[in-house]
A and B are shown apart, each in its own frame.
Chain A
Amino acid sequence: MNEPPPSRIVELEACPRLPRGVRLVHNEAQGGFVLLAPERVFKADAIAAEILKRCTGEASVAAIVDELATAYSAPRERVLADVTALIGSLADKRLLEL
């Protein structure tokens, strides 16, 4: 099934955070970071994990993008697209609060 289009626009000022009942953990046996959610488990690749680690409710989307673009010497537009796509998709799955 294709994912429906995002139901919201991710604002740059929003400060995303993992809601209660959603946890990002590192698991040796599963070989990396996983996002634990109600009856669902998602393996997070390295980039997703770096984004999710910063979703603490304190940093804004803009700040997260700036930080990642600097840390990885990546073009800001590219990072912005990645970050907003992931955050929007997870918010629609109720895995992230904006």
Chain B
Amino acid sequence: MPSIGAALSRPLGLLAELTHRCPLGCPYCSNPLALEGRAEELDAATWARVFNEAAALGVLQVHLSGGEPAARRDLADITAAARQAGLYSNLITSAVGLTAKTFAALVDAGLDHVQISIQDSEPKSADHIAGYGGGFARKQALAAEVVRHGLPLTVNAVIHRANIDRVSALVELALSLGASRVEIAHVQYYGWALKNRATLMPTRAQVDRAVAAVDALRARHHGRIVIDAVVPDYYAKYPKPCVGGWGRRSLNVTPSGRVLPCHAAESIPGLEFWSVRDHALEEIWTSSPAFQAFRGEDWMAEPCASCPRRTEDFGGCRCQAFALTGDARATDPVCHLSPRHSLVEALAEEREDADYIYRR
């Protein structure tokens, strides 16, 4: 049978963090602890150059993200630049700040796909989690616009203790909004999310129920909606192949132009990141110290170094290894083979019902 899905050897995706500004206050915000300000943001012309360099490097898709990308007045220009560079453009948005009119301008600019984050299937809870009143209604409104324009819609549902028991309702909501794809994205505990870990962490029983629910939903809705889900890190046996391997598949450009192998990489001390203001993207991809740091296998220690899975999960996540063990070269402690795995098991048991510390 003809094949689709063989491995590619060049970077495929570029995450363009157009701004760190965002109206929401999600307690699991994935942006770094130190945010870059508006004055430091790259202008649209520089983004256009970066997109052209990315396309030449083999990048196929650009994810227009943030913060909230709609906080940029020139988002339509940036979207048009992505299309002009031949890239497939994906808008990752909270929906807050996009009106029917401003969204139509993005469609005209050649936008290919929209991903809307949904905090919960129940409006009141959703707005509470986001720390933003009226947000849920705006998400519904934008989803309707996306469908009306005929663009494919992905719903991204970030899952944690407060909403994990409504995984089925979230998938049903995605279907009713007209999504062709839904991500059941368990909270990743880096940066701001670490501050709320004990409040967000689900129980093992909840995770088991959610995994079973997703399996049943996949069977029931096969062919109608694609459900992408992963086991949450702290309850996994093996680590995730973070960003498909360090410096293998993707690049992340921060609002000010720093190029990172993954969006949390700045949490690892001692890495030297290069900026698109000073270097061409290809040079950064091939030669910058941060991209070289954990590329390949030479950096690996045991048990990764001799593990047959090292070519599948690449030792897991470097940022998580550093956050939990203080050593970025260590095996991701999520792995049950890690000598530090008991740390993760203990942390998964730490739960408290406190108020969220919102990202403001």
Residues of chain A whose beta carbon lies under 8 Å from any beta carbon of chain B = 4, 6-8, 19-23, 25, 27, 29-30, 34-39, 41-45, 47-48, 51, 81-82, 85-86, 89-94
Given contacts A29-B10, A92-B223, A93-B226, contact A38 B2 (CB under 8 A): no
Could you give, for residues 138-156 of chain B, a 1 whenever the CB lies within 8 Å of some chain A CB and a 0 otherwise?
A: 0000000000001110100
Contact B90 A43 (CB under 8 A): no
Q: In the bound complex, how far is the Cα of B3 from the Cα of A61, in angstroms? A: 18
Q: How far is the CB of A29 from chain B (nearest CB, A)?
A: 3
Per DSSP, chain B at the interface is: loop
Q: How far is the CB of A95 from chain B (nearest CB, A)?
A: 9
Residues of chain B whose beta carbon lies under 8 Å from any beta carbon of chain A = 1-10, 12-13, 56-58, 60-61, 63, 86, 88, 90, 112-113, 115, 150-152, 154, 180-181, 218-219, 222-223, 225-226
Contact A36 B6 (CB under 8 A): no
Contact A44 B4 (CB under 8 A): yes
Q: How far is the CB of B64 from chain A (nearest CB, A)?
A: 12
Q: How far is the CB of B335 from chain A (nearest CB, A)?
A: 20
Contact B6 A39 (CB under 8 A): no
Contact A48 B222 (CB under 8 A): no
Which residues from chain A contact B6 at a C-beta distance below 8 Å?
A: 43, 45
17 pairs, A vs B, C-beta closer than 8 Å: A4-B218, A4-B219, A6-B223, A19-B152, A20-B150, A27-B58, A27-B60, A30-B10, A34-B60, A36-B88, A37-B152, A38-B115, A43-B5, A44-B3, A45-B3, A51-B2, A82-B2
Which residues from chain B contact A89 at a C-beta distance below 8 Å?
A: 4
Contact A25 B86 (CB under 8 A): yes
Q: In the bound complex, how far is the Cα of B151 from the Cα of A50, in angstroms? A: 25
Which residue of the partner chain B has the closest CB to A51?
A: B2
Q: In the bound complex, how far is the Cα of B180 from the Cα of A94, in angstroms? A: 7
B60 contacts which of A30, A51, A85 (Cβ < 8 Å)?
A30
Given contacts A38-B154, A38-B181, A39-B154, contact A92 B222 (CB under 8 A): yes
A20 contacts which of B1, B10, B152 (Cβ < 8 Å)?
B152
Contact B181 A23 (CB under 8 A): no
Q: How far is the CB of A74 from chain B (nearest CB, A)?
A: 12
Q: In the bound complex, how far is the Cα of B151 from the Cα of A94, in angstroms? A: 13
Contact B4 A86 (CB under 8 A): yes
Which residues from chain A contact B181 at a C-beta distance below 8 Å?
A: 38-39, 94
Which residue of the partner chain B has the closest CB to A92?
A: B223
Q: In the bound complex, how far is the Cα of B310 from the Cα of A88, in angstroms? A: 34
Which residues from chain B contact A92 at a C-beta distance below 8 Å?
A: 222-223
Contact B2 A45 (CB under 8 A): yes
B8 contacts which of A30, A39, A47 (Cβ < 8 Å)?
A30
Which residues from chain B contact A94 at a C-beta distance below 8 Å?
A: 152, 180-181, 223, 225-226
A41 contacts which of B1, B12, B115 (Cβ < 8 Å)?
B12
Q: How far is the CB of A65 from chain B (nearest CB, A)?
A: 13
Contact B10 A23 (CB under 8 A): no
Given contacts A4-B219, A94-B226, contact A38 B4 (CB under 8 A): no
Which residue of the partner chain A has the closest CB to B92?
A: A39
Which residues from chain A contact B1 at a C-beta distance below 8 Å?
A: 81-82, 85-86
Which residue of the partner chain A has the closest CB to B218?
A: A4
Contact A41 B61 (CB under 8 A): yes
Contact B90 A38 (CB under 8 A): yes
A35 contacts which of B4, B13, B150, B223 (Cβ < 8 Å)?
B4
